[in-house]
Amino acid sequence: MEPLSRYHQLGGHAILDDNTMSNTIIANPRQNMYSYVEIIDLSVYEAAEGGGGILEIADTNGNVFRRYNTDGVKDIYVNYGKKGIKLSDDKDVGVQVLLSGALTQASVSIAIRIHLDNK
């Protein structure tokens, strides 16, 4: 396995709610490399109202990576390890998060760490 220092790591954090329903938490790195998600740390601290609340994690081209239901209060921590999971088949993409689906959106705190690799 390659040493972790080989990778350029980037991280970001956002708080989303009914007033701020989307955020680009990691801008396009412009390195002509692929983005690999290492860690997602998500807290739904106020549930969506009206049913159907969704949080999407997507690349900055709009390709959805993961979807989470936000109709209940919960904490989700996902660690994909040092190798991570490829965010997208597209190079040079950042990470955006979006709330949708509910009458009143959830209140969510999310942090994500990625690294860049040319493979």
Domain count of the chain? Answer: 1
Full residue range of the structural domain in which residue 72 is found: 4-117
Mean pLDDT by 10 residues, the chain (119 residues): 67 97 94 95 97 97 97 98 94 96 97 94
**With helix as H, strand as E and coil as C, how does 50-111 read?**
CCCCEEEEEECCCCEEEEEECCCCEEEEEECCCCCEECCCCCCCCEEEEEECCCECCEEEEE
Q: What is the CATH number of the domain that holds 22?
A: 2.60.120.340
Q: What is the pTM of this model?
A: 0.92
User: What is the model's pLDDT at position 35?
Assistant: 96
